[in-house]
Structure 1
Amino acid sequence: MVWFILSTLLLIGLILVIAEILFVPGTTVVGIIGVLVTAVGIYYAFVTFDRQVASMVLVASLVLNFGALIYGFRTGAWKKFALKSAIKSRAFDDRLKGLEVGMKGITISDVKPIGKAEIGEGIYEVKSESGFISVGTSVFITKLENNTIIIK
């Protein structure tokens, strides 16, 4: 029964350490619990058995845990969970394509200070430089900056 308790503690600790390395890298909670369970198993071995057997249990558990750690890093299994690419595009990058400062348009909604205007052949969300502009007012583009059309 003593060997069963000892081997169960060491096996659970090893499984938790392997789970930390392979399945949930970066959380450290599972790994810390695994190391603590392994330490309890080693302590149990020193309390229960003589020093020579307990030392062999200590060495065996250290070899198995470090072997699992080295195996986990060499196989690169933890790379499966890492982000390998980045999104470089932005929304509405070509929204201002074909527009130039000075183009004329007409408001199709109240601009207070943001509204809609028809400029060229498209309808755009615009921002007023001078405050409120009512529907149907003729406007022109004064600035194109940060994906924003500023009108007057």
Structure 2
Amino acid sequence: MTILILSSLLIIGLILLMAETLFIPGTTVVGVLGLLISLAGVAYAFLTFPANIAWWITAIATVLNIAAVVYSFQSGVWQKLTLKNALEGGVFDGRTKGLEKGMEGKAISDLKPIGKGLFGDSIFEVKSESGFISVDSIITIMKIENNQILVK
């Protein structure tokens, strides 16, 4: 019965450590729980076996736990879980290119205070500085900042 309890504690601790690194990385709760259960198994070994056998059990448990963690990191799971792409856009991505302050256009929807404005041949989302502007009104660009076109 002693061997069953000891092996159960050590195997459950090992499984939880591997589960942390292979299946649910980043939570640390499962890994810490696995480490605590493994330590409980080592403590149980020292309580029930002579010291020299308990030290052997400790050494074997330590080697197996380290080997399991190293294997888990080398298995390639982390490569499948990591982000490899980056976003290319930024705050200013050229959406308002060709527009400048003072340029006149036409409201093609009601601006309440945001709507659509026509400048040249292009339609842009604009924001009214003065509140509501009705459709087909002439609008003037007052400011362009952070891809936002403020009109009056």
TM-score, normalisation: structure 1:
0.81
Q: Is the 8 A contact 1:23 1:78 kept in 2?
A: no
Q: Is the 8 A contact 1:92 1:147 kept in 2?
A: yes
Q: Deviations over 1:98-122 (max 9, x none)?
A: 4333332122334343333222223
Q: Distance in 2 between matches of 1:134 and 1:18?
A: 64
Number of the residue aligned with 1:101: 101
Number of the residue aligned with 2:55: 55
Q: Deviations over 1:41-73 (max 9, x none)?
A: 112222222222222111110111122223334
**Aligned-residue identity in percent:** 53
Number of the residue aligned with 1:117: 117
TM-score, normalisation: structure 2:
0.81
SS at match of 1:124: strand
Count of paired positions: 152
Q: Distance in 2 between matches of 1:56 and 1:106?
A: 84
Q: Distance in 2 between matches of 1:116 and 1:67?
A: 62
Q: Is the 8 A contact 2:91 2:146 kept in 1?
A: no
What are the within-5 Å matches in structure 2 for residues 1-152 of structure 1? 1-90=1-90, 93-152=93-152
Structure 1, unaligned runs of 5 or more: none
C-alpha displacement at 1:75, in angstroms?
4.6
State the superposition RMSD in angstroms.
Answer: 2.5
Q: Is the 8 A contact 2:13 2:35 kept in 1?
A: yes
